[in-house]
Amino acid sequence: MVEHDRGKKPREDARFLVTDFEPAYLRLLRQGELDPRVAAALAELRECRACPRDCGVDRMAGELGACRTGRHAGVSSAFPHHGEERCLRGTQGSGTIFFSGCNLRCVFCQNADISQGRAARSCSAGEIAGAMLELQSLGCHNINFVTPEHVVPQTIEAIALAAQAGLRLPIVYNTSAYDAPASLALLDGLIDIYMPDFKLWEEQSAARYLKAMDYPERARQALREMHRQVGPLVLDAAGLARRGVLVRHLVMPGGLAEAAAIFRWLAEEVSPDTWVNVMGQYQPQHRVGRAGPGGRRAFPEIDRRPARAEVAAAYAAARAAGLWRFDE
């Protein structure tokens, strides 16, 4: 096992270095399998089961379900992002495409204007593909789809068009992990890097804070499938991620027990070689900071930032579980 101290770049070994990389979707392009994949994906929208909400609405006809997104995906922004993990942002940035709408209702959401708002512009697959190619022309190291769980069919449609037009960057699927098995099956062979959050371990916490009691089991199911598809994260000689799973966990106030359970599960049930970002930037935003009737806070137990000691304890719990590959 390779040792890693917090704040220092991990010393990788040859198992996780790649010298000859090609984005996964190019194989499907050569084999003529992209168009059938698009057709299968769009068929899912007619009685939508794209995410675990299982709304069953006909999004091809413009009907809206929990995500409030119809036939076309809403895009909030697309730009080279220099605030992602170092292995994604490199020197030229990660080419992020932020989708609007979300299938969760996190009370602490730090992007509620995007996830819950409806001001984003509805974009066709051709427009999204154009944005992907523009990000490639700007020198971005990858295409990073942010909050794509509810628009998997539309992302598949865009990937196919972009690949046919010359896209050659790895695709990052940046998700809450509230994903449907059917959607992940459609993504098999298209996604190079899965970057799921694993937010909460307990059903009661998920129901209270995410409005999705089944989130923990759905996340475990999704992470197993993601790892089956792409395995542990591998990097190139420049330290850029090329393929694999990168897990994020946001440290919550008072959430050490759930964090420790998540880290143990990752090490024991997925892989001790899982690359993990233990994030300490939680802030009480969105509904958490609002006062209700009588001036009472609705979520007083998380109405603060985590203490430095809590973040350090979460990091120690990850190491104790056997995980060793950490984002700095």
Task: Answer positive or negative: Cα dihedral of 295, 298, 300, 302.
Answer: negative
pTM of the complete model: 0.94
In the 3-class helix/strand/coil scheme, how is 194-238 assigned residue by residue? EEEECCCCCHHHHHHHCCCCCHHHHHHHHHHHHHHHHCECEECCC
**Which among 171, 185, 170 is positioned nearest to 224, based on CA atoms?**
185
Model confidence pLDDT, tens digit, residues 175-222: 999 999 999 999 999 999 999 999 999 999 999 999 999 999 999 999
Structure tokens at 277: 């970002």
Model confidence pLDDT, tens digit, residues 47-63: 999 999 999 999 999 99
Model confidence pLDDT, tens digit, residues 28-47: 999 999 999 999 999 999 99
pLDDT at 108 exceeding the cut of 70: yes
pLDDT for 73 equals: 96
CATH number at 14-326: 3.20.20.70
Structure tokens at 157: 């449609």
How is 138-159 classified by DSSP, letter by letter?
A: TT-S-EEEES-GGGHHHHHHHH
